[in-house]
Structures are given as structure tokens and as C-alpha cells.
Structure 1
Amino acid sequence: MPAGPSVPAVPSYEVRALAGIPEVRPGDDLARLIAAAGPALRDGDVLLVTSKIVSKAEGRIVRAESREDAIDAETVRVVARRGALRIVENRQGLVMAAAGVDASNTEPGTVLLLPEDPDASAAAIRAGLRELLGVDVGVIVTDTFGRPWRSGLTDVAIGAAGVRVLDDLRGGTDDRGNPLSATIVATADELAAAGDLVKGKANGLPVAVVRGLGHVLGEGSAAADLVRAPADDMFRLGTSEAVREAVTQRRTVRAFTDEPVDPGAVRRAVAAAVTAPAPHHTTPWRFVLLESAQARLELLDAMRDAWVEDLRRDGKSEESVAQRVRRGDVLRNAPYLVVPCMVTDGAHDYGHARRDAAEREMFVVAMGAGVQNFLVALAGERLGSAWVSSTMFCRDVVRKVLGLPEGWDPMGAVAVGHAASAPAQRPDRSAEAFIEVR
């Protein structure tokens, strides 16, 4: 009988918990404990080791007056805070709840910290098993994480040795020939989650073995590679932290690169600006976007001429005039200009000087709120800006050059662009210096 067509092998793997590992104490040799519980380990197996027993073996048990004190000590940066819950970046560079500090399954008055270097811990276990059993296995140290956008917890890899933690499929194609341009699989995290299904949280089974996936073994990779770089992290802060960061980290930027400004980003900033409060349900904001170099040059030249005329009328020397005019270079050198204008349609006319002055001030305050929203939103778009008051001193000139209605009052100009360098740090200001309580 002729042989029939061969049937391709169906991919499969086995994951099982490793029984027989005793309570781990400081100084224990984890590789020896695992080898005793799993003498039948084979080349190509992947061990999934709960971080808790690694921490215990490495003596990462500390006395703490409170878990919160320990979290403080392990925290590098607070990412988000909601009530007592804190998501932080810890000293290992991991972003997780409570810095990974664990108060369960440890003596009262003590807490468990994560391993000092989880990748090194995984490498030590792997080397020990090679020496004891003569096997080449991969080792992943796991811990429990929550995840953005998803409810529930799962185990992920925080340390790895002998495993390719990421499978970069970019440059390949799918089964229909479509190019894969963004697919990078977190293999180590997938393995960690699979192991968690059989280890459990309270079953006394801190190690699992995956068999049948020997192709994931490889050198030169570490769990640290799974941590997204700050520059690529679009969700580096929680909601309230991001708002506070945007407001407090906004800086006046006076030097820009030649990189073009995305007009869409400016329009998104305008959309944020017009959510500011305003009197009588009015909308007093208008934003003139000077996107062409010709429009910017015509306006700035006309403003310069008007300023020179004012300064000469003030009796300033030509040297003083030239020096002061140079202050306008921040607008001239910016790749994009915006002129915020105020309109007072809907303002009440009281026919009374004091009340009419207060009415206009309400609109000016609303305009300032809109401009601040605009500048903060630009910062959120990674754009630098500088608000300069010059258009307020020659409003007729600005209206004429830009063809604006008579009722539009230019309220300065905003230079926009990509900052040529990082702005200097601003000293913290105590709120108390600006507060009076009655």
C-alpha cells in the first residue's frame, strides 16, 4: 500500500506544578530544592518560579512598622494613586501595585520584598540545575500583576534566564501574506500566566514546569527587556497625576528646533482651550493660526515697526531700541505662531464705569483661562510654547495685517514648536505662600 500523505504535527505543550518543595527559608539553595522535587527535568523544559520563594531564599524579608513604610522605601516614582492604592515604579524598574511588597505568607511584622535582581536570580537557579542535573532549562521568576485596560490579575515574568522573553515577528507575514509590522509577543509573560493556572496562590506549589516548548529557549534575553522604555510609554502616569504633571511641568520655551509642528496637535489644543469657563455662557475665545511663513513674517515685521515707533516716541536710544526689539526673536524664530483673540459678544452693558470695567475683566479672566488650557494642552502634545504679550500693544496693527474684525482683541501671541533643549527645572513652590485662610 502506498504511504498516505504525512500529517503535520499539532503543536502542544504540558504544564504541571512541581510538588514536594518545602517551606523556603533564608539561605536555602533553590536550585537544590527544585532538583530534589524534579529529578526528571529535561533539556528544553521551562521552570516558572514564584518570586515569593526567591525572595525568601535571598533573605528579602524585612521588619516594617507598616507595609506602607516598606512601599515608600521601595518606590522610585508614583505612577497613580487612588485612595490607599498606589501604582508605582519600584527599584527594579517594574511598574506595579504597592512596589511588589507582600505581607502575606510571612511572619507578622515582616514583609517580603521582590528579589534585588530577578534576572540574576533566574540565572543562578538555571546554573544550579545545570550543575546538579546536567540539564539545560529556561527559568522564569514570576509575580502577580494587574494590567492597564483589563480587570483581574495574572502572573508575569519579572526575571528570566535561558528564555527568549520576546518573540519579534515584525518583518514576517501572516498566513494570508499580510505584513506584520507591530507584532512582538511577550513569550515569557505567556509562560508565566500558563504556570499560574497550576501553581495557584495558596496551594503550596510555587514552581511549575512547561514541557514541549523547547524552541522558546535562547540566550541574551532578560525579563528587564519586557519593561517599556519611558520614551515609548504612552501611559506613564495615572489620570490625576498626568493632569498635575501637564500643568506643573509646562514651561516657557524660547528656542525651537526646525521640526515642523503638527497642525492637528494645535487644533486639539484649541479644542481644550475652549472648554475654559466664561461669563454668561459666552465663547470669548478665537485663535488665529499662522501656519505660513509669509503670514508670520508680515505680522512680525508690522509689529516690529510699530514697536520701534513707540520706543522712539518714548525717547529711547537707537541702541536701546535695537536691544528691546531683539526680545521679539522668540516669535520670529518659532516655526508656528498662534494669536489668541478675545471677543466680548454677549457682554452686559451697564452704562456704569465700575460695573462695565468688571464686566470686561470677567472676559479677560476667561481669556486667560483659555490661553492656559491651550498652553497646557500643547505641553501634553510634547510641544513647547511661549506666550508673549506683544500683540496687545498694537492691536490695530494686528487686526489690519491679519484682516480680523474690529471686535477681536489680540491677547498676545503664542510661539509653538519642538523645544531645542529640555527646559530648566523649576523650584517647587509652596502653596502656603499663596494662601490666606479666613
Structure 2
Amino acid sequence: MARADGVGAGRGCAELTGLQVVPVLGLPEVVAGDDLAELIAKADEYRDGDVLLVTSKILSKAEGRLVQAEDREAAIDAEAVRVVARRGRTRIVENRNGLVMAAAGVDASNTPPGTVLLLPEDPDASARALRAGLQRLTGRRLAVVVTDTFGRPWRNGLTDVAIGAAGLRVLDDHRGRRDSHGNELVLTVTATADELAAAGDLVKGKATGTPVAVVRGLAGAVTEEDGPGAAALVRPSADDLFRLGTSEAVREAVTLRRTVRSFTPEPVDPGAVRRAVAAAVTAPAPHHTTPWRFVLVESAEVRTRLLDAMLDAWRRDLAELDGWDEAKIARRTARGEVLRGAPYLVVPCLVMDGSHTYPDARRAAAEREMFVVAAGAGVQNLLVALAGEGYGSAWVSSTMFCRDTVRAALDLPAGWDPMGAVAVGRPAEPAAARAPRGVEAFIEVR
């Protein structure tokens, strides 16, 4: 389709209402050291307010990002800072610029054997340098968007997105505006740079050898300053609800599960605890039983009554059975303050309903051990799920030493055996870094 002014007739121009997207034809094969601004400036005539969409591959080539790499996987390792998801040999990773994409953008297509092409080291910096050169050579006020091809969660097919930008409002914030019915927009922020990148791909294509396109008719989005670039499009990890694949999320939640002994006073969401309990009761159990019960201590009054009764029982036992003096008892019972300082308690209990009865002590003991192991698996599920909800926890064994006292304080059936207590809350301080623990010391292979 030809542009309204006749320029670009027969050049695969895509025209929308008031907006024209035109390929820049005739660019030579780019190699390391080429002055890309000069090549693009000579290839077409530009106007104030034009937005140039530049495929990252030619920037990478001009910047010498073609590297020797017999092993593409090793190149991906070098470019990635975090594995987001993995399935077989396919990896979705985050690179040093915060871009989440397949294989860190490492490209082995259309490159000499034994080489791969890496993304520009800093796509925003590349966009700024290219824009400066183009404006100097053309005398025009331009914007530059560096594009690359991404897949998208929940959607088939690929599209181009912006990975670098200069001189463009990459985001158009509609919040506070009103729609045609007078409703205030509270969430809408349009990714203008990504929309332009996708539009440019309609005329650049994947196999035509046309790496640059021009968008005309959006001069209002072109800025005098370079601006924050495409970095503004990267969602902070704290706001990203989908930053991990399934197996990675499970592993991270397990890693995040740390014993927390100091909590903020922020109330705990009872719904989050119930979701964690729902995960807990998926644990394996013997004989198709459900040997778990979870007592949620949400009342401050009940928590105080429980902990006071436990403290009295502990002091009595330590004095009468162990012969400890008051100072030693005080030091020992101080460990229980982690429960008193938590805004929420969960008391997991073991029930033996459905267990088998054996006449000999050996098999009867083994039967109980199976149920105890199942209870532990349920508690582990609970702790991991709480970590996934953003809560810290501490599984404290103290209720197991005064079960009758706990049953009385919480009005529990005689057959419920408290298996410790779990303190729950927001951690008062970040967990200290923990070095990865090697597994070989815990493995024997036969």
C-alpha cells in the first residue's frame, strides 16, 4: 500500500489512520565496525518526528557481538542472570538488562558455523548512540527503537518488542483520564514502544532482509531528550506475578522457606494461611488417610492462654523432672518467645484415624512412624506454601512436650497429637544470604 504522499509505493508500506509504517530498503549486510547511523541515514529521507525501528541483530553485528561459541548453551549461560523456566533444552532466562526471553536472545541463525550473535550489551545505550548519529547526519528530530522478537506467555506466535529506545515516550500513561462513558481509567498504561516494534515487523518481516522501518505520524511521542529508554518497560521483579516457571517457582519457594524468629506486627491474611493448608493436605499419607489437622490460632486471647499454659507446664517439668534452677529454666523457656512474638500461630496435629492395629510392638511402632512422616510432609508443604505467600515461619517443637496442656488450652479431641507450633508473620528483616548446599554429602549411590 502506498503512503498518502506517494512515497513508498510498492515498498510494502503498512498504513493505518494517520500512521504510516514503511520499510527502509537497500541497506547492505552489516559487519563489525560499520557506522550504522551513516548507513541508515543514506538509505532514505527522514522527517522530523519519524520513529526508526531497528532490528537488534544489525546493531549487534555493528558492535561486534558476533562471538565464537561452539556451544550455544554455554553462550546462553554467560548472558543469563536467572533461569525463569526450563523445559528440556528450552530455557526462558533473564539477561543482565532485565529482559526475559528465550535463550537470552543468543542467535545462531544466519551466522557462520561456530559463532553466535549476542544482543547489544546495553540496548538503550545503543539506541541513544544511534539516535545521536542519525540526528547529526539528517538534521531531523528522530526517535530510535531497538527491536527483538519475543514469544509471549499464554499466546502462540512471535512478535517484535522494544528492547532499547531513545527519544520516545515508551509508555503512555492513561491513568486519571476518562473513557467515553466518563469512567476514570486507573490501570491503563500503554506500551507504545512495543506497539511500534510490532507494527514495524509487519513491513520488515523475518526473511526479507529488511532490518529497519520508519513510523511516521506519531511525532507527538518523540521527545527532545533521550528519556529512560526501554528499561522503563521492564516490570520490577517485586511486581511480577509470573516471574518463574512451575518447577522454578517450587524450587524458589523451598529455598525461600527459612526459619524466621522475628516478625513485624503486620496482621497475617487468614486466606493466605488457608491456601497454605490446602497445599499441606496434598501431602502423601498411608492407607488413603488424612492424618493432618491444623489449628489456626487467630485470637490474641487464645494465643496468650495457650502460651501461658505451655510456659507453666514447661517450668514445672524442668523444675520437677530435670531439677533445673530458675535461671536455667528462664534461659530454656526464652526460646519460646518466637511464638509469642508472632502475629499468627498454626498448631499442626496428627490424627491416627485409619491406622492399622498390630499385636506386636515393632509393627505398631512402624505404623505410627508412617503417620508421623506424613504429618511432617504436610507441615513442610504448609511452610513452603507460606513462603510462596510472602510469609516467614518457624516450626517450634514445644507443643510436643506438653500435649495434654495444649489439648486443654485449645479444647482439642483426645486423639489429636500436637506436632509443634508454627509461628507465622512477615519477616522483620531480610534473611541472611545462604550458600548453596552441595548434595553429594547426603547421597549414597548403590
| TM-score bracket for this pair, using the shorter chain length | over 0.9
Range moving further from structure 2, 330-339 or 67-76: 67-76
Distance in 1 separating the partners of 2:442 and 2:130: 57
User: Is residue 304 of structure 1 aligned with residue 316 of structure 2?
Assistant: no
Amino acid at match of 1:38: D
Of 231, 234, 248, the match for 2:238: 231
Match of 2:341 in 1: 333
SS of the residue corresponding to residue 293 of structure 2 reads strand
SS of the residue corresponding to residue 89 of structure 1 reads strand
Distance in 2 separating the partners of 1:360 and 1:148: 46
User: Is residue 50 of structure 1 aligned with residue 58 of structure 2?
Assistant: no
SS of the residue corresponding to residue 387 of structure 1 reads strand
* 1:93 positional shift: 2.2
Match of 1:5 in 2: none
Match of 1:139 in 2: 144
Distance in 2 separating the partners of 1:109 and 1:423: 43
User: Is residue 398 of structure 1 aligned with residue 403 of structure 2?
Assistant: no
Over 6 Å off, 4+ runs: none
- What is the number of equivalent residue pairs in this alignment? 428
Amino acid at match of 1:328: G
Question: Pairwise CA RMSD of aligned residues?
Answer: 1.2
Q: Deviations over 1:291-337 (max 9, x none)?
A: 11101000000000000001111111110011111110000000000
User: Is residue 362 of structure 1 aligned with residue 370 of structure 2?
Assistant: yes
Distance in 2 separating the partners of 1:297 and 1:54: 66
Match of 2:283 in 1: 276
Match of 1:221 in 2: 228
Range moving further from structure 2, 145-154 or 186-195: 145-154
User: Is residue 382 of structure 1 aligned with residue 377 of structure 2?
Assistant: no
Match of 1:110 in 2: 115
* 1:139 positional shift: 0.6
Distance in 2 separating the partners of 1:410 and 1:184: 51
Match of 1:260 in 2: 267
Distance in 1 separating the partners of 2:411 and 2:136: 82
Distance in 2 separating the partners of 1:226 and 1:403: 54
Match of 2:379 in 1: 371
* 1:288 positional shift: 0.5
Distance in 2 separating the partners of 1:426 and 1:143: 36
User: Is residue 194 of structure 1 aligned with residue 199 of structure 2?
Assistant: yes
Match of 1:19 in 2: 25
Q: TM-score, length-normalised on structure 2?
A: 0.94
SS of the residue corresponding to residue 368 of structure 1 reads helix
Amino acid at match of 1:228: R
SS of the residue corresponding to residue 39 of structure 2 reads helix
Distance in 2 separating the partners of 1:29 and 1:111: 21
Distance in 2 separating the partners of 1:426 and 1:32: 51
The answer for unaligned runs of 5 or more in structure 2 is 1-15
Match of 1:31 in 2: 37
Match of 1:433 in 2: 441
* 1:283 positional shift: 0.7
- The percent of aligned pairs where both chains have the same amino acid is 74
Amino acid at match of 1:398: V
* 1:11 positional shift: 4.5
SS of the residue corresponding to residue 416 of structure 1 reads strand
The answer for unaligned runs of 5 or more in structure 1 is 1-9
Amino acid at match of 1:210: V
Q: Deviations over 1:204-262 (max 9, x none)?
A: 11000111111221242310111111111111211111111111331000000011100
Q: Deviations over 1:352-408 (max 9, x none)?
A: 211111111111111000000000000000000000011111111111111111111
Match of 1:76 in 2: 81
Q: TM-score, length-normalised on structure 1?
A: 0.96
Q: Deviations over 1:115-172 (max 9, x none)?
A: 1111111112211121111110111000011111211111000110111011111111
User: Is residue 173 of structure 1 aligned with residue 178 of structure 2?
Assistant: yes
Amino acid at match of 2:440: E
Distance in 2 separating the partners of 1:239 and 1:52: 31
